[in-house]
Amino acid sequence: LATPTSIMVGVGKGAEAGVLFKNSTALEQAHKLTAIVLDKTGTITRGEPAVTDVIVSEQLAVIGDQYSVNGGQTTVSEGLLTDHRLPAADYWLALAASAERGSEHPLGEAIVRAARERELLLDEPQAFEGIAGHGIAATVNGRRVLIGNRRLMEREEVMLNGLGAKAEQLQNEAKTAMWLAVDGQATAIVGVADTIKEGSKTAVQQMHAQGLTVVMMTGDNDATAQAIAREVGIDRVFAEVLPGDKASYVAQLQEEGYFVGMVGDGINDAPALAQADVGLAIGTGTDVAMEAADVTLMRGDLRSVPQAIHLSKATMRNIKENLFWAFAYNTALIPIAAGVLAPFEWAPDFLRQLSPILAAGAMAFSSISVVSNSLRLKRVKL
């Protein structure tokens, strides 16, 4: 009874707190964690990015015969937004949103949402391609449109048109700089920011108090990642991580000697969750992530992570206490029942010739002690 009763009560206590352990192994292993890897989007942050800036290249004059930028105004001669005269920032935002209409990425959805909030007219892209870890490529009214990170611009040999410094400025403000390029020319930078979840900073502080090294992993550039890490209190940062490489970074920490927990919410996090010694999925995330994880945090709150670890420690301590009581009764009474005290006249008669009734009662009391001690877990404060 010593182990199963503690595990049963511990799993039930976790469920009450919104921490679902898939199996007993996860509950038994969580207390060993020495490092926690946190995915940024949807885990540390809300995963609801919003457009904060649209910065147009000052060097841009004309791209083809479709549109030109003069004095901050964009005149559209044909195709997209025909007969509309818009500020340059609105025009490029509308073009970016038109290209992103086929995207399911949170950053793409933020661009589309911002354009619609400004009541800008959008066109349907004739072609759309998602480029993992880089961005998207689309065709809008015959124009090749690229939206993504600096790596995408470099890969496609895009002319940056003086926007590099603007992108760095946004990144230092913990914003994601989305580059917009049309026909090989960078035209604008769209700044997107995600709000840090309430409780993320407190959760990281609690993990530090538990002696954990806290690591953040993100596909964002290093400047943006470092800005968020400073705000939350992260120890180490893995930035510009491609979706398919997340598991390898977890393996790297394991090779360094860490017992690693991974916290994530997306489809791309599933391999890393499976690679980790203990995978913890945010309950507000995808089904794939929850299937790959050992623990599901139903409340979507990072503060559930230190709660899960604390519960694991309390459960393992409770199991050891149960084993002590179980072995204490048996160690003391089995020799007595075998007559080890019979030759000693100083011993009480009921111990020199132990009654089977007393022996049976002691065994029953042993079980009662184990169960009662296990139930104490229900009073553990998480």
Tell me, yes or no, whether 200 lies in a domain.
yes
Say if residue 84 is in the same domain as residue 187: yes
Of 300, 328, 358, which residue sits at a domain end?
A: 300
Tell me, yes or no, whether 124 lies in a domain.
yes
What's the helix, strand, coil split of the chain in %, to 5?
A: 50, 20, 30
Tell me, yes or no, whether 105 lies in a domain.
yes
Say if residue 265 is in the same domain as residue 229: yes
Provide the edge-to-edge strand list for the sheet that holds 19-21.
Answer: 19-21, 295-297, 278-282, 260-264, 35-39, 213-217, 236-238
- The residue written with tokens 């410094």 in the block is 165
Question: What CATH number should be reported for the domain holding residue 159?
Answer: 3.40.1110.10
Say if residue 180 is in the same domain as residue 96: yes
Of 266, 300, 334, which residue sits at a domain end?
A: 300
Say if residue 33 is in the same domain as residue 65: no
What pLDDT does residue 334 have?
A: 73
| Full domain range(s) for residue 266 | 25-46+196-300
- The residue written with tokens 């937004």 in the block is 81
The answer to whether 222 is a known catalytic residue is no
Say if residue 77 is in the same domain as residue 155: yes
Tell me, yes or no, whether 322 lies in a domain.
no
Question: What CATH number should be reported for the domain holding residue 229?
Answer: 3.40.50.1000
Say if residue 178 is in the same domain as residue 226: no
Say if residue 182 is in the same domain as residue 210: no
What pLDDT does residue 353 have?
A: 74
Q: Is 68 helix (H, G, I), strand (E, B) or coil?
A: strand
Say if residue 243 is in the same domain as residue 264: yes
Say if residue 59 is in the same domain as residue 174: yes
The mean predicted confidence, pLDDT, of the chain is 87
Domain count, the chain: 2
Residues whose CB is less than 8 angstroms from the CB of residue 377 and which lie 6 or more positions away in sequence, other chains included: 6, 9, 10, 13, 314, 315, 318
Query: Mean pLDDT: which of 54-63, 68-77, 287-296, 336-345 is highest?
Result: 287-296
Using pLDDT thresholds of 50, 70 and 90, give the confidence band for residue 68: very low
Using pLDDT thresholds of 50, 70 and 90, give the confidence band for residue 144: very high
Tell me, yes or no, whether 7 lies in a domain.
no
Using pLDDT thresholds of 50, 70 and 90, give the confidence band for residue 85: low
**pTM listed for this prediction:** 0.77
- Show the 3-state SS of 118-144: CCCCCCCCCEEEEECCCEEEEEECCEE
Cα–Cα distance for residue pair 60/56, rounded to 1 Å: 8
Q: Is the dihedral of CA 165, 169, 171, 175 positive or negative?
A: negative
Of 193, 226, 258, which residue sits at a domain end?
A: 193
The pLDDT of residue 72 is above 70: no
Cα–Cα distance for residue pair 162/186, rounded to 1 Å: 9
Say if residue 173 is in the same domain as residue 217: no
Tell me, yes or no, whether 38 lies in a domain.
yes
pLDDT digits (tens, 9 = 90+) for 13-62: 999 999 999 999 999 999 999 999 999 988 999 888 999 999 999 876 44
Tell me, yes or no, whether 40 lies in a domain.
yes
What pLDDT does residue 174 have?
A: 87
Tell me, yes or no, whether 30 lies in a domain.
yes
Say if residue 87 is in the same domain as residue 167: yes
Say if residue 139 is in the same domain as residue 113: yes
